[in-house]
Structure 1
């Protein structure tokens, strides 16, 4: 029998342990007013899985405003707004996702999108 993957609440807890107590995009510290959510780096509409390796901790505002924008485009927008998004965190998590997909297989729809994002971020 295959091990069950963590549910959304568990993935949020694990993402916050991995990423720290702030939003990946705007870097606001999570509080009762700045609520953390899981944000898919490769959006579900692009084939992104609901795996910890594809999610970062983000505040509700950033998650909502990002919508389906690519990580590279949203990082640029965050910087334009004067924020200091964690570009290294995003690149590392996308790289870890690529490694996980290679190991687990599948995710055919997500692979080209993921590779394109990594190329853009590594420039």
Structure 2
């Protein structure tokens, strides 16, 4: 049986519990100055759902700079900048999203973007 959908604040709490209190992209620890935001690995603009399986925590700077770029592209840019981007976290969350979409169905637009991101990550890793 599917769990009830959590609101944005509840999802952020679960994401932080799941992944830890650091930005996925730059590795900064969240505190009063570095506030966590919800970052959709498959952007909402590209059909990404607001599901736990599509969300990671990111600081405002990284979330804003990433914009609507793909997760694989932004991951590579962060690594090139010398940031300790959490590639394992990105891979794990994208795999969970693939499983969730297979289970729940729908998300036609997200599937296309997700397949592209997964392919790019396989090539880079």
Task: Settle same-fold status: TM greater than 0.5.
Answer: yes
Q: CA deviation at 1:77?
A: 1.0
1:86-101 matched pairs, under 5 angstroms = 86-101=86-101
Paired residue for 1:43?
A: 43
Name structure 1 gaps, 5 residues minimum. none
- Counting matched residue pairs gives 122
Paired residue for 2:106?
A: 106
Name structure 2 gaps, 5 residues minimum. none
Whether 2:33 is the aligned partner of 1:33: answer yes
Q: Report the Cα distance in structure 1 between the residues aligned to 2:8 and 2:52, rounded to whole angstroms.
A: 9
Off by >2 Å, runs of 4+ in structure 1: none
Paired residue for 1:75?
A: 75
Deviations 1:35-86 (A, max 9, x none): 0011000001110000010000111110111000100110111112110100
Q: Report the Cα distance in structure 2 between the residues aligned to 1:85 and 1:55, rounded to whole angstroms.
A: 15
Paired residue for 1:15?
A: 15
Whether 2:104 is the aligned partner of 1:117: answer no
The RMSD of aligned alpha carbons is 1.0
SS at match of 2:31: coil
Whether 2:58 is the aligned partner of 1:58: answer yes
Q: CA deviation at 1:4?
A: 3.1
SS at match of 1:122: helix
